């Protein structure tokens, strides 16, 4: 992507906007240029300042866009992603449990978490790789007292819909 620098800056501003950057034009942009040898490169400030506290954008020699950020900011991003992954996992488990008509949701949740931890310890599987619907169906088969059955709900097919 060896576009002219003004086009690269436009592309960077568009990327920054998609990333939720409030004022993309205030972020520093650097360009990596060839140096005297393979171990040395020249970094040119294209826009912004050398002291920016915000993430900076870097255009490498091939025109590829990179983001340069502090370790603290990256740790924050990783923490947010981990939290988001945990929330998605919890939501998937909630849906899998609800689908099987639990009598007491919390009881089934507790058994599911225990079973999940056991499986992870025994097989080294990560929680995100476990089929949660199959897990809950197994719990229902092993602990039917934790779930309603259609018989318990007194659904009468012969009533003609009355």
Do residues 12 and 61 both lie within one domain? yes
Do residues 46 and 97 both lie within one domain? no
- Spacing of C-alpha 159 from chain mean position: 49
CB atoms inside a 10 Å sphere around CB 33: 12
pLDDT, average across residues 121-139: 91
67-80, pLDDT tens digit by residue?
888 888 889 889 99
Provide the number of structural domains found in the chain.
2
Q: What is the pLDDT of residue 68?
A: 87
83-100, pLDDT tens digit by residue?
999 999 999 999 999 999
Do residues 96 and 59 both lie within one domain? no
Residue 132 lies in a domain: yes
4-50, pLDDT tens digit by residue?
888 888 888 888 888 777 776 678 889 999 999 989 999 999 988 88
Could you list the residue range(s) of the whole structural domain that residue 33 is in?
5-69
Do residues 15 and 55 both lie within one domain? yes
Q: Higher model confidence: residue 137 or residue 62?
A: 137
Tokens (6 digits) for 135: 């897990």
The whole model's pTM is what?
A: 0.63
Do residues 89 and 36 both lie within one domain? no
**Residue closest to 34 by CA, chosen among 43, 47, 21:** 43
Do residues 32 and 61 both lie within one domain? yes
Give the three-state DSSP class for 108: helix
Do residues 91 and 127 both lie within one domain? yes
Do residues 64 and 15 both lie within one domain? yes
Task: In whole angstroms, give the CA distance from residue 25 to residue 28.
Answer: 8
């Amino acid at each position: 992507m060896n576009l002219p620098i003004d086009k690269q800056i436009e592309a960077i501003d568009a990327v920054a906007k998609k990333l939720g950057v409030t004022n993309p034009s205030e972020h520093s942009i650097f360009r990596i240029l060839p140096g005297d040898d393979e171990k040395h490169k020249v970094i040119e400030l294209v826009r912004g300042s050398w002291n920016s506290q915000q993430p900076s954008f870097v255009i490498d020699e091939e025109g590829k866009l990179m983001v340069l950020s502090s370790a603290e900011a990256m740790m924050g991003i990783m923490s947010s992603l981990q939290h988001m992954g945990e929330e998605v996992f919890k939501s998937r488990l909630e849906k899998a449990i609800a689908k099987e008509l639990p009598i007491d949701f919390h009881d089934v949740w507790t058994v599911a978490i225990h079973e999940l931890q056991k499986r992870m310890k025994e097989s080294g599987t990560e929680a995100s790789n476990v089929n949660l619907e199959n897990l809950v169906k197994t719990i229902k088969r092993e602990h039917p007292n934790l779930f309603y059955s259609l018989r318990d709900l007194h659904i009468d097919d012969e009533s003609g819909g009355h």
